[in-house]
Structures are given as C-alpha cells and as structure tokens.
A and B are shown apart, each in its own frame.
Chain A
Amino acid sequence: DAEITQSPRHKITETGRQVTLACHQTWNHNNMFWYRQDLGHGLRLIHYSYGVHDTNKGEVSDGYSVSRSNTEDLPLTLESAASSQTSVYFCASSATSTGAYGYTFGSGTRLTVV
C-alpha cells in the first residue's frame, strides 16, 4: 500500500545544531508540503513543492529549508535549531495542484530543541 512516512518520530536536539527531518511518500504525488503544529496556532505551512526541483516558501519559512531532488522525498532542514522551533512537524502530499482529492499526512515528527 502507498504511504507517507516521516522520520524520526521523536528528536531532541541542541540549540544551534542543524537538523533534518525526513519525509518519504510512495503515492507518486507531485505536491508535497511541510507544516508545523503548535498549541494555539494550528497547522502552519513552512515550505511546499509542486515537483522535482521546485520549492516555495510558506507562512513560517524563516530558519527552514527544503530541497526536492526526486518525487518521493522532501527533507526539511533546520539550519540552526532554535527553541522556538520546538514543535510537531507534519509532511503532507497531494496528487493534484489543487486539493481536489484532499491531502495525505504523515504521522509527524515531534522535535524538541533544548
């Protein structure tokens, strides 16, 4: 069965370190998204991609970067982790450039920056 997997599920890192969160999907979806979810804010868009070599900034992109070298993967990198980036991170994908069929989410990565 097709799936979208995130790794690791939990990560503790120190302030200032570079961290990369993985997202891998086997749906063959062109569109992939990264969100963070915090109490009181809901899901906020960090970066998104409509295909290989395409990346775009979302609402809260400062301090984060992504790259898309193939269809399956969209890794999210925190260049220099800050305590404000402690959050739960979700990757999502969709088949179309619109959400006409909804979005498929991974199970999330809980990141703690100490």
Chain B
Amino acid sequence: SQKIEQNSEALNIQEGKTATLTCNYTNYSPAYLQWYRQDPGRGPVFLLLIRENEKEKRKERLKVTFDTTLKQSLFHITASQPADSATYLCALESEGSYIPTFGRGTSLIVHP
C-alpha cells in the first residue's frame, strides 16, 4: 500500500542551526512533492514544490531535495528562528492521479 512517512517525534533545535525534516514514501510514482507549514489552529500554507526530475529547490532560507531512488525528500531551514516553529507537512501527487496525499507532519520547535 502507499505510505508517506514523516517523523512523528518533534524536532528540537537551537536558534541559528539548520533544521532538517524528512519525508519518506513507498509505492508512489510521484510527479510532485510539496512542503507545507501549519501553525496551530490554522490551515496548511504552501511553501515549496519540487518535481520528480528536479534534485533540489531553494527559496530564501528553505531548501528541498528530492531523491526518487531513495524515495525521500529532505526539507532544510537554514539559520532557523523561533518563528519557524510549526508543523511541516509533505504531500505527494502521483503521475496520473494528481490528488495530493499528505504525511502526518513533523513538529519543529526552535529554541531561542
């Protein structure tokens, strides 16, 4: 069966460090992989999208990598700030389906 796995344990890091979040998947042929940020009591907010034929995408302090051989995406936040504390969700769209399926998210806590 298809699975998207994100670490359920919260990631605690110190301000200024790089946060790295992982999204693993099985039994998908992804066309797109997306990352979202969700704050408590709010809807997810789209951050970045990476296509299956792209290895890396950057946006300001954010970087996403996509390894279709390892079936994994890494999401990096450099120079992290307490304001980056939130839950981060990854979402996959398969070739031909194009309906996003979401992981359960990983909570990031950045300590001042």
Contacts and interface: CB of A to CB of B under 8 A. Distances in A.
Interface bracket on B: 20 to 34
A103 interface: yes
Contacts of B32: 98-100
Interface bracket on A: 20 to 34
A101 to B, nearest CB: 7
Interface in A67-111: 90, 92, 97-108
* Centre residue among A42, A45, A48, A97 by max chain B CB count within 10 A: A42
B34 A102 contact: yes
Contact of A106 (B43, B103, B105): B43
A42 B87 CA distance: 11
A114 interface: no
Given A42-B104, A99-B98, 17 more contacts: A35-B102, A40-B104, A41-B104, A42-B89, A43-B89, A45-B99, A45-B100, A98-B31, A98-B32, A98-B93, A99-B32, A99-B34, A101-B49, A105-B44, A106-B43, A108-B42, A108-B43
Interface of A: 33, 35, 40-43, 45, 48, 58, 90, 92, 97-108
